[in-house]
Structure 1
Amino acid sequence: MKQQENKSQSPDGSEKKNLKPTYGGKNINWFYLFLFGMIVMLSLFSDPATGAKEITWTLLQDSLLPQREVSKIVVINKEVAEIYVKKTPTGTTENDNVLNNFFQSPEVPRYTITIGSVETFEDKLQRAQAEFPAADKIDVQYQTRTSWLSILSWLLPFGIIVFFWLYILRSMRGGQGGNPLFNFGKSSPKISDEQTKISVTFDDVAGLKEAKIEVMEVVDFLKNPETYTKLGAKIPKGVMLVGPPGTGKTLMARAVAGEAKVPFFSMSGSEFVEMFVGVGASRVRDLFKKAKEKAPSIIFIDEIDAVGRSRSKVNAFQANDERESTLNQLLTELDGFGPNTGVIVLAATNRPDVLDKALLRPGRFDRHIYLELPTKEERQEIFGVHLRRLKLAENVDVGQLSKLSPGFSGADIANICNEAALIAARKKKEKVGQEDFMEARDRIIGGLERKSKIISEKEKEIVAYHEAGHAVSSWHLKHVDSLVKVSIIPRGKSLGSTWYLPQERQIITKSQFIDQLCAALGGRAAEEIIFNEISSGALDDLEKVTKQAYGMVAYYGLNKELGPISFYDSTGRNEQMFGKPYSEDMAKQIDEQVQILIDNAYQRTKDLLLKHKDELEKLAQLLLKQEVVEKEDLVEILGQRGVKQLEKTTESLEVGNG
């Protein structure tokens, strides 16, 4: 096996030799083609009857035998008779062209005859030579031969199958060295070390101060382990990052990799699960083996719920033996470390409720770090990080942007910044302005404006009064969020929208819940008051109201008739059960109380809109005129918010004791 030497310059200027097999890659395909061609050539030229001319019995009987030109006849495999002719001078005989053939020698057959049976052929030959002297009679010889072509006829299909599987296995190998059959159970993590540095650091992770402190402790242990071990402390073996989508779990792990400056092995939970039995467990073993060899190191498993789901009996009908064996191997590897081997496991998930309890117990994932949605101050920091790369106009107010984006995750904020830059570029601007961010926010929340959508004048009027009903009712309700603007321009699937500035609340009181119900029913109530009929436009409002009312009654215990009970299940197991966690009689009471609550909220909203019907008319007409009404116009029509609040207690909404 020869190898070719390729010299290249290394970064330090020294020559570096790369040994590459000359038969690798595409050259091996040419080798197979050449080998196949040689076999075909040998099969053609090794057969002595290849150049013989096939004749009929009549020519043999009437021409060759009477002229005494036949020297011998050989019957091959009782099927073909090879006729050898005597060597004669070049003259007028018919077989001169065959004798002068470049590829033939005198001891090769000149003619062949296909015989039906040996007995018939011998009988004909004997009769044709009946009058010949004994010395001129030709004896028949018999031979059994195996031709290369006959061998290839049954070897070739097997060869094609072998070559096909070799091609498939080379494709599955994916460029990794060694035999692909032995690499099938190997893990293929993304490895970051000194040669492949990650540029993300903790400076790129805005907000999440408490989470960063806990994670930085892990990084400090990897850099200075003796500080902890000399006191007898044990660093957590596993750190679980838990939080809603987009809150920065993967970004935090990348920052750990960038700060720790140790080998970092990253894999997704779904990469362990395969349809082949035992592959997942084998990949887990291989991953931890690689990490231990390069300790101190970090293993990061993203979306660990793909492999770490609970093995409870409730999910027995959904059991996956391969996934469970992979989880068992993962549990064994986590618990099989020495206390200070220097290998730490990070994992991320947004569904901690479905994880197996054995995975979360102390000794495996000791520390759980919860990454919540950012607060106003944290959102301002996140905006600061994502605005670094943008060319901003002077009117951009980061504080206002953080106020107008409550409930947004870090990924949502990054999307707003990118969308604002795209909008500014589409308008051929030199810098990104505040109005671009507002437009980007509206587009992300409500969808793209569909000004080209054609609706009739009657439908447009219904939409205007519907949105005006939401605006007027929410303006005069004390506990509803501040109104920002009202629009009847179609966005996404909605024909109109009312924009609020939500307050950041950790808890919601009963009166706040009820005011929210009334504000959501304002559109339907306005349609009934103005047009004396209702439409299907309140579908989304009714869905929201129904869910919220059931939450108040069945989950939060805010109904005095049922008392302080809750059927909420934080583990999520009730969702997997076919039955409800309460009796039919209790279900009937819940339905009755929900219906009473919604009916009273709807009546309260109608009374409020009837009292402010003039304001409802003015706002609806202004919407029909200019399609979008900002807060300044709302103040002019509805007055200052809080001055004309409806003086009516929310306790009267419930009947009986509720």
Structure 2
Amino acid sequence: MANDNKNIKEKKPKLSPYWIYGIIIAIFLGFQLFSSGYQDGTITTPADFFKYLEDGDVERVDIIKNTRVAKVYLTKEAQEKEVHKKSKPQSFIPSATRLPNYKFEFGDLQNFENELNKITEDLTTKPTVKFDTETNEWGSLLMNLLPFILLIAVWIFIMRRMSGGAGGGAGGQIFNIGKSKAKLFDQNTEVKTTFKDVAGLEGAKEEVQEIVDFLKYPEKYTTLGGKIPKGALLVGPPGTGKTLLARAVAGEAKVPFFSLSGSDFVEMFVGVGASRVRDLFKQAKEKSPSIIFIDEIDAIGRARGKNAMSGSNDERENTLNQLLTEMDGFGTNANVIVLAATNRADILDKALMRAGRFDRQIFVDLPDLRERKEIFEVHLRPLKKSKDLDTDFLAKQTPGFSGADIANVCNEAALIAARNGKKSVDKQDFLDAVDRIIGGLEKKNKIITPSEKKAVAYHEAGHATVSWMLEHAAPLVKVTIVPRGRSLGAAWYLPEERLIVRPEQMLDEMCAAMGGRAAEKVIFDKISTGALSDLEKVTKQARAMVTIYGLSDKIGNLTYYDSSGQNEYGFTKPYSEQTAELIDKEISKIIEEQYQRAIKILEENKDKLTQLAEVLLEKEVIFKDNLEKIFGKRTFEKEEHIGGKDAQETTKGEQETIEK
């Protein structure tokens, strides 16, 4: 019973700020409604009053000498007349506080009194006339002060709720503005994510598992003289599983886990961020051993002194200073470990990155082929998949995909299967999902003229032809002229996952990218704007070859890449104007050479290019085996190459499905 009472007390209804706003609005509306009925009657003239008096409609007249105002009260019968409908309704006013129907100002009191007596002499029922009637000044004053009194009462009510600890709605936020916004996960909070749910990331998992082990069995390490690390920074591209790894730590550690974002520290009020940092570490020390996780720490951890306009009173810098003090301020036996995640480690302050604050930097990279297979197996568990679904094939079809991308692929595949009325998710659904994510939604109803469709077909056929003839170009999966997203056509490739890229490989890829524009030049002797994305791609590759990787003979073994991110070609460039001209010429030369190379390849295979484009116009989607029928097998292609034999067998099934 005591527990029930405790639960009842804990579930006090919180006062929402919307209720507060509603109460204030209702007060004003009620005051306006009441004050509209509190008016001293409809304004009239002495002439109209004397006419009402002659008709016997007046029951009482109150004459106020000092203000020369007369208030007229009509009889009940007169109030029902059509002529008096314009007078104020009195239905909601009690009879004891009845308000006048009319009021008017008169001139000389003696003249008005003589005229009044003259008319009332001939009346059978004389009205009551009162002089020197005192006005209810206190009542009027009270009505004027009523809205302010009610507002003050509501404000006092809110303040009491805030100071009493209820803290509901906007009030609690005002008084608790310096308190930490961290969400606490402890033994009373069920966190279902464990390390079993984190596929791949073996090195990162090993690091964070050791941190969990530190907290569970500290004596195992301290007996040998080791110290518990104070912090670990998770660094990696978006979607690679940094936050998921932190959730797994919360589920495995079984110690208090404080989770919040870097932006939770920043407010418009001065000193709030530093106050929240102090409160966060105070709570963590009280619940030691514990873990603090700060997601997107770059919101407060940017390098200091970069914004010259803010000076020394920058709120974000003050917050960072307090964080640095707290991380290096508590002792090593405090058993409080700070985890943080960011995908922009290059902009973090050096003082934050040093040993003693973040002792470990754990790099969470994009998954490789084996890790993608493990991630697929995790996300395929809740799906009703077909029995012949091959996770190895799915992993090969998604190079460069992050864990979040793979989760999205699985979800999209399930939605596509459900849309088609299937009872299980099969291989084709996953291929369609990959196409949907990479290229966008198919727009089969998009209006496109025959000439434009022909130009798109030759453009995509040019890509396919050039890539087929080059040894180091990525192997083709399929080509389509069905509009997707913002593109009118697309060619799908499976790039080889290389750790080291050689110049000939980059040049072959650039040549294949220029194959579309080259095909337009060879066939139509005209070029169009359809090669925008291709030009953007090859320009970035050529610039990287010249300015980053040192692969240009003219520039030599130099790089202008700054890994710290401090100088991304802002106001000052790291090279002279002469070098800038040389770089521009070298980039243009590389791209033009590959464009001419693509034109030469297409001119030598013009009949095959035309044949391929006609097949593409007929079927709208072609696959690897269509190119083999026209060009023959690639003599330099290896069987173990990604997208080789397995991709060929699968695409045959895809072609049959689309042809049906």
TM-score, scaled relative to structure 1: 0.77
User: CA separation in 1, counterparts of 2:171 and 2:449?
Assistant: 70
Question: 171-180 vs 340-349, which deviates more?
Answer: 171-180
Note closer, same or farther for the CA distance 1:629–1:406 as it changes in structure 2 (3 Å cut): same
Is structure 2 residue 603 aligned with structure 1 residue 603? Answer: no
| In 2, Cα distance between equivalents of 1:341 and 1:204 | 30
Partner of 2:559: 566
Query: For residue 608 of structure 2, what is the aligned residue in structure 1?
Result: 615
| 609-618 or 144-153, which deviates more | 144-153
* Alpha-carbon shift at residue 162 of structure 1 (Å): 3.1
Instruction: Answer yes or no: is 1:334 the counterpart of 2:327.
Output: yes
Q: Are the equivalent residues in 1 in contact too, given 2:14–2:169 (CA < 8 A)?
A: no
Query: Of 9, 15, 21, which aligns to 1:18?
Result: 9
Distance 1:592 1:114 in 2: 93
CA 20–537 in structure 1, closer or farther in 2 if over 3 Å, else same: closer
Cα 1:637–1:286 shift into 2, 3 Å? same
Equivalences for 1:60-459 in 2 at 5 Å?
147-149=137-139, 151-152=141-142, 155-162=145-152, 165=155, 175=168, 181-313=174-306, 315-317=307-309, 321-459=314-452
CA distance in 2, matches of 1:206, 1:162: 58
Rounded Cα–Cα distance in structure 2 between residues aligned with 1:382 and 1:182 = 45
* Structure 1 residue aligned with 2:620: 627
Point out where structure 2 has 5 or more consecutive residues left out of the alignment. Answer: 35-63, 71-93, 97-102, 114-131, 639-660
Quote the Cα distance in structure 1 between the aligned partners of 2:637 and 2:183.
Answer: 62
SS in 2 for 1:316: coil
- SS of structure 2 residue aligned to 1:240: strand
CA contact (8 A) 1:76 1:145 kept: no
Q: Which stretch shows the higher mean deviation, 185-194 or 252-261?
A: 185-194
2:503 to 502, 507, 510: 510
> For residue 553 of structure 2, what is the amino acid of its counterpart?
K
Q: Post-superposition shift, 1:458?
A: 1.0
For 2:266 and 2:356, locate their aligned partners in 1 and report how far apart those are by CA, in whole Å: 24
Task: Indicate if the aligned counterparts of 2:291 and 2:338 stay in contact, CA closer than 8 A.
Answer: yes
Q: Partners in 2 of 1:147 and 1:518 — Cα distance?
A: 93
Per-residue CA deviations over 1:216-243 (Å, capped at 9, x if unaligned) read 0110011111112222211111111111
Deviation at 1:23, TM superposition (A): 12
2:489 matches 1:499 = no
Question: Does the 8 A contact of 1:170 with 1:180 survive in 2?
Answer: no
2:139 maps to a residue whose letter is L
Q: Give the CA deviation at 1:250.
A: 0.5
Mapped to 2, the partners of 1:417 and 1:601 lie a distance apart of 38
Tell whether the 8 Å contact from 2:471 to 2:636 is kept in structure 1 after alignment: no
Q: Larger Rg: 1 or 2?
A: 1
Output the CA distance in 2 between the equivalents of 1:470 and 1:318. 51
Distance in 1, Cα, partners of 2:466 & 2:212: 53
Deviations 1:263-293 (A, max 9, x none): 1111111111111111111111111111111
CA distance in 2, matches of 1:171, 1:344: 36
CA contact (8 A) 2:159 2:171 kept: no
Report the Cα distance in structure 1 between the residues aligned to 2:398 and 2:316, rounded to whole angstroms. Answer: 40
The Cα offsets for residues 546-579 of structure 1, whole Å up to 9 and x where unpaired, read as 1211111111111111111111122222237223
CA contact (8 A) 1:300 1:345 kept: yes
- Alpha-carbon distance in 2 for matches of 1:522, 1:318: 51
Does 2:447 correspond to 1:478?
no
CA contact (8 A) 2:184 2:258 kept: yes
> 1:163: Cα distance to partner?
5.1
Amino acid at match of 1:152: L
**3-state SS in 2 of match to 1:435:** helix
Return the alpha-carbon distance in structure 2 between the equivalents of residues 273 and 23 of structure 1. Answer: 26
Distance in 2, matches of 1:512 and 1:563, equals: 19
Q: Cα gap change, 1:287/1:16 in structure 2, threshold over 3 Å: closer, same or farther?
A: closer
User: Displacement, 1:211?
Assistant: 0.4
CA shift in 2, pair 1:562/1:247, >3 Å: same
Stretches of structure 1 that go unaligned for 5 or more consecutive residues are 1-6, 42-74, 82-101, 105-112, 125-141, 646-658
Partner amino acid for 1:605?
A
1:115 Cα shift? Answer: 12
Question: 1:642 is matched with which residue?
Answer: 635
Letter of the 1:227 partner, please give it: K
**What's the secondary structure of 1:574's corresponding residue?**
coil
Seen in structure 2, the aligned counterparts of structure 1 residues 619 and 171 have a Cα distance that, compared at 3 Å, is farther
RMSD: 4.3
Q: Is the 8 A contact 1:76 1:144 kept in 2?
A: no
1:544 and 1:33 mapped to 2: Cα distance?
A: 61
1: distance between equivalents of 2:636 and 2:209? 51
Shift of 1:589: 0.8
Distance 1:520 1:376 in 2: 25
Partner amino acid for 1:267?
A: L
Inter-partner Cα distance in structure 2 for 1:171 and 1:529: 79
Output the CA distance in 2 between the equivalents of 1:361 and 1:481: 41
TM-score, normalization by structure 2: 0.77
User: Does the aligned pair in 2 maintain the 1:238–1:364 contact within 8 Å?
Assistant: yes
Q: Is the 8 A contact 2:15 2:169 kept in 1?
A: no
Counterpart in the other structure of 1:52: none
Partner Cα separation in structure 1 for residue 341 and residue 66 of structure 2: 74
Q: Secondary structure at the match of 1:453?
A: coil
**CA gap 1:602/1:78 in 2 versus in 1, 3 angstroms:** closer
- Which amino acid in structure 1 is aligned with residue 366 of structure 2? L
Q: In the superposition, relative to structure 1, how do residues 19 and 195 fare at CA in structure 2: closer, same or farther (>3 Å)?
A: closer
CA contact (8 A) 1:463 1:495 kept: yes
Change (3 A) 1:564 1:373: same
User: Which amino acid is the alignment partner of residue 633 of structure 1?
Assistant: N
CA contact (8 A) 1:169 1:181 kept: no
Identical-pair percentage: 58
CA contact (8 A) 2:463 2:513 kept: yes
Q: After TM superposition, give the deviation of residue 159 of structure 1 in Å.
A: 2.9
Instruction: Give per-residue Cα distances to partners, 1:136-185, cap 9 Å, x unaligned.
Output: xxxxxx99999543543564354355356568879998638996643121
Counterpart of 2:540 in 1: which secondary structure?
Answer: helix
SS of residue in 2 equivalent to 1:340:
helix
Q: How many residues align?
A: 572
State the secondary structure of the residue aligned to 2:278.
helix
Alpha-carbon spacing, 1:184–1:457, altered in 2? closer, same or farther (3 Å): same
Instruction: Sort the Cα spacing of 1:174 and 1:428 in 2 relative to 1 into closer, same or farther, 3 A.
Output: farther
